Amino acid sequence: MLTEQIYTHLRDAIMRGRFAPGDALKPQDLAKEQGVSLAVVREALVRLVGEGLADRLPNRGFAVPAFSDRRWQEIAEARRTVEPVLLRMSIQRGDLDWESRVRAAHHRLSRTPPYVPDEGEYYSDAWSEAHRVFHRTLLEGCGNPVLLETFDRLWTASELARRWSSRRNPDRDGDEEHRKLEEAALARDPDTAAATLTQHLTLTAAALTDAAD
């Protein structure tokens, strides 16, 4: 379907940094560039708005969300509220199979290159997926699919902010943060694991706050 193709193209362009935060997304220009109708582009842009990857501006068309958008901090607050609780539950309830999956997910993440030249300046799709799987696997030991669905929604909503944050704080040692998360979880240390995860999430949001300031 043509709309799906244009949506995928625009989503990838935003995710890979081809449009900067706050950049205008002009339907007429995009339609001309892609050789499609204005209606197709508008439909794709409306879908992106629904996913939080674009804003619809009154009388001004569409734009990529800005660093200063309050939603990023609200999502970060929600994640800091929910995910440490799920991690504690996972440590309490997780079995040997969960431990094995956490170790395997961390191994995959640590061995996947975060950047690929052909995919732009932000995290590669392969690394982003390995990152998601690691964080979700940490929480899957909780055994509650309803709570995990909440994690899934928050993770999707924060993907763009996460990619921006990595560019704002290039000296951050994410590998070490993930290693500490794995260690604390497998050591069955809920206090350290929850504190480590909270700090991990806080640093991501802080990079955008610094950018806005």
pLDDT tens digits for range 133-142: 999 999 999 9
- The pLDDT value recorded for residue 142 is 98
Q: Is a pLDDT exceeding 50 seen at residue 211?
A: no
Dump pLDDT digits (tens) for 63-117.
Answer: 999 877 788 899 999 999 999 999 999 999 999 999 999 999 999 999 999 888 8
Please state the three-class secondary structure of the chain as a single string.
CHHHHHHHHHHHHHHCCCCCCCCEECHHHHHHHHCCCHHHHHHHHHHHHHCCCCEEECCCEEECCCCCCHHHHHHHHHHHHHHHHHHHHHHHHCCHHHHHHHHHHHHHHHHCCCCCHHHCCCCCHHHHHHHHHHHHHHHHCCCCHHHHHHHHHHHHHHHHHHHHHHHHCCCCCHHHHHHHHHHHHHCCCHHHHHHHHHHHHHHHHHHHHHHHC
Q: Residue 59 half-sphere exposure, CB side, CA atoms within 13 Å?
A: 0
Q: Where are the domains of the chain?
A: 2-64, 70-207
Rounded Cα distance, 26 and 42, in Å? 9
At the fourth CATH level, which superfamily is domain 70-207?
A: GntR ligand-binding domain-like (1.20.120.530)
pLDDT for 26? 93
Class of domain 2-64: mainly alpha
For the entire predicted model, the pTM comes to 0.84
Over residues 117-160, the pLDDT tens digits come to 876 677 888 999 999 999 999 999 999 999 999 999 999 889 88
Which pLDDT does position 196 carry in this prediction?
98
* Fold match flag (2-64 vs 70-207): no
| Identity of the highest mean pLDDT range in 19-23, 66-70, 169-173 | 19-23
